Every structure is written in structure tokens, then in C-alpha cells.
A and B are shown apart, each in its own frame.
Chain A
């Protein structure tokens, strides 16, 4: 069953054509990595999946809901589709534990004791149980991002979106975040869509790689195929530039 399906999707910012004729199907349980040069529309694409960006034309079906239909209740989709942001977006006015417990309490009406138990388990899992009572401002970037991942997981989503989760981190913080993401990809049947520049992560974890440039999908291939021999010229060029770093 497909978790996310784009059919002839077009997205504009005013006159700027941000997404061009996107056709893409992601099955439940797949881990898909989205790469491409900056400004290629990767973030825009991933942000349409939970309705943070509207599409202007075409159809976008997520978890059975049509996002382009104005009658669709976006909150129903967001309950099942979590997102991890480049700049974490933790609630600055809430403690680490409250960041994780808030949405399950308000949206899922999860029992308070159960809620706390799950939140603490998740903090344990991302290695930050001792920070439960800290405010986000007391954490490093890498720690913030791991809390943000725990916050998303607490909703027990079917699908997790990662929008450049390591791009704003100091180099020594990247590994810890990628490790947590790798564990999620391997230990769960969650669908993962990841925008990233971490090619090693893509090679190790992704089932599929999608290459975008100028708002269009130029290549959609299995991870092995893509990294061995990309068919698209732009993709080849991009890979050689990334590799030379």
C-alpha cells in the first residue's frame, strides 16, 4: 500500500514554479532519501506531505487522505505523519519532557501515566533521559534534534518526514542524530522520507534515492543503482561534487 502518492503535482510561489509535475509513490515502510542541490525543491516537496505547504495542482494522497481537497482535515494526517525540522522547532516554553508529552496528551488524549512512561522510554532511547526536566535552551543542537525526534515518535506516527535534520548541527553532533535515525529505519516499519546531504547515511539506510533539481524529480532509483551509476547527467554531476568534499 502506498503511504504517499504525488500525481502530477504543481506548486507555485507567486510566479515561481517550485514543484514541477511531481509523480512519486512511496510505499508504507519504505525509507526514501531525497537529495539534490539547494533550491531544488526538496524541502518544499517534503513540506507538502504534511500540508505545511499547499499544492496548486494535481493530487497528493497521504495515508489515504487527499491533501488538495479543502474538506480534508489536515490534523488527521498530521497525527500520523511526524516531522523533524532543520532547526528543531522544539517548544521553547516547555521542558524537554513536556515537549514530548504535549501532543499525545492534547491530540491522542493519552493517559497521563502512560504518556509519561512512553516519553521517558523515548528519551532513554535517544540517550537523553537525564535531560527530561531541562528547558530546550539548555541543550546542544544535537540534543535538541534527538528530543525533536522523540517528540515525533511519541505520536506513534506511520510516517516520519525529516527536513535536513543534520544541516544545522555542528559536525561532532551529526553522528548521534544519524544513529538514532538509522535505528528507527531498521527497527520499525515506519515510512521515512528524508531530505539530507549525508550521502553515507543515504547509502546505509535508504531503500530508494530520489534526485531533484529545479523543482523536478530527475531520477528515482534504488539506492544501489543510484550510487553505482546514476543515469541522469545532473545527478552524476551532483554526486561527483558531493564526493569530492
Chain B
């Protein structure tokens, strides 16, 4: 494929940035999503409202708007690159969906698990960490997998703000070579290289954790 040979360094560089943005956002959104799921489930009304407000806001605003907000507004106060703005926006946006997955997971763990742990002397935090969350994540694996795959594909939002990712480089190749079709086909193939193994990995995790229940 001559187009790929000619522009391979651009594609590979974009691929690298896409991987990096996806990994950063995956970790950040998983941590944030879990924190906000726990807030939503807090018995303290104030915390529950904060958690719920966060989730409702970020999952109901287009990712592009959040990205532009960070790139155009926040970046005026705190200097950041398009890559940073896009990755932060992607993390926040995805974390709202992950919070819902984790919350649903926690709620589907039998209440007896928490009662057993509390009665056994564990604190609420210890019970969450050691007993409830591990079971909640196992239940949430299929829906978390969906979110992770969406996250990788949504990372193409970085192209809008000069984020140097795969889509950004794909746009450049398309514009320079005039072979738009081939350029985007190659971009699409690169995304599959990331998302297909991720899909299979999540399926593997699901099968494995169900096995040793």
C-alpha cells in the first residue's frame, strides 16, 4: 500500500498518541467514575447530589463541547496543549458513563455482603474496597468493556483540537494526498488494531472471573 508507505511515520505517530490518550483517559475515567459512583450512593444527601450532578452534566453534554471548553476557555487560564485538553475532556466524559456502570454493579451486589462485612467489624470503606467493589467490577465488566471501546473510538475528538492523534494525522494525509478514501481506511484499520484486542480481552476477563466465582 503505497499511501501507507509514504505517510507511515504520520500514521504511526498518530497511532502512538491515540494509544497514549486512550490509556490515560481509561485510567483517569475508571478512577473518577468509581469515585463519583460512590458519591452517588453516599448516604449523605450533599455528596449524593454532587455525584449525581457530575454524572448528569458530563453524560448529557456532547464530547465535542466539553473538549472545546477545555481547549478554548480553560486553556486560557491554565496553559495546555490540544492533546491535554482532548484527553481531559475524554476522561471526564467517559467517567460519567463509567460511574453509571460501577453504580449499577454496586447495586447488584447482594446487600447481605455489606451487612456481613459491617457486622464482622469492617468499616464501610474497608467493606467497599475488599468486598463490594471487587464483586461490583466483575458484574460491570461487560458494560465497562463497552465504555472502554467507546473511549478509544471517541479519542478521535482530539483531531478537532490539534491533538496529534490518529484521526488528526489521517486528516493531514487525506488533505495532502487527495486519496481521502484510502487515508481514512487506514485510520479505521488502526482503530480496529486497538479495539478488537480490547474487546477480546474484556470477553476473556468476563469468562475468567465468572469461572472462579
List residues of A whose CB falls within 8 A of some B CB.
50, 52, 74-75, 78-79, 82-83, 85, 87-94, 102-103, 106-108, 135, 137, 148, 151-152, 155, 161
Contacts and interface: CB of A to CB of B under 8 A. Distances in A.
Contact of A78 (B120, B130, B134, B212): B120
Contacts of B131: 91, 93-94
B120 A151 contact: yes
A155 B135 contact: no
Contact of A107 (B112, B115, B121, B213): B121
A106 B126 contact: yes
A108 B122 CA distance: 10
Interface of B: 110, 112-113, 115-123, 126, 130-131, 134-135, 138, 212-213
A6 B112 CA distance: 25
B113 A78 contact: no
B115 to A, nearest CB: 6
Given A89-B115, A137-B213, A102 B120 contact: yes
Given A75-B123, A79-B121, A106 B130 contact: yes
A89 B121 contact: no
A106 B118 contact: no
Given A89-B119, A93-B135, 17 more contacts: A50-B118, A52-B118, A88-B112, A89-B112, A90-B116, A91-B113, A91-B117, A91-B130, A91-B131, A94-B131, A103-B121, A103-B122, A107-B126, A135-B212, A148-B116, A155-B121, A161-B119
Contacts of B115: 52, 85, 89
A155 B212 contact: no
Contacts of A91: 113, 116-117, 130-131
B47 to A, nearest CB: 18
- CB-based closest 4 A-B pairs: A89-B116, A83-B119, A89-B112, A107-B121
Nearest to B131: A91
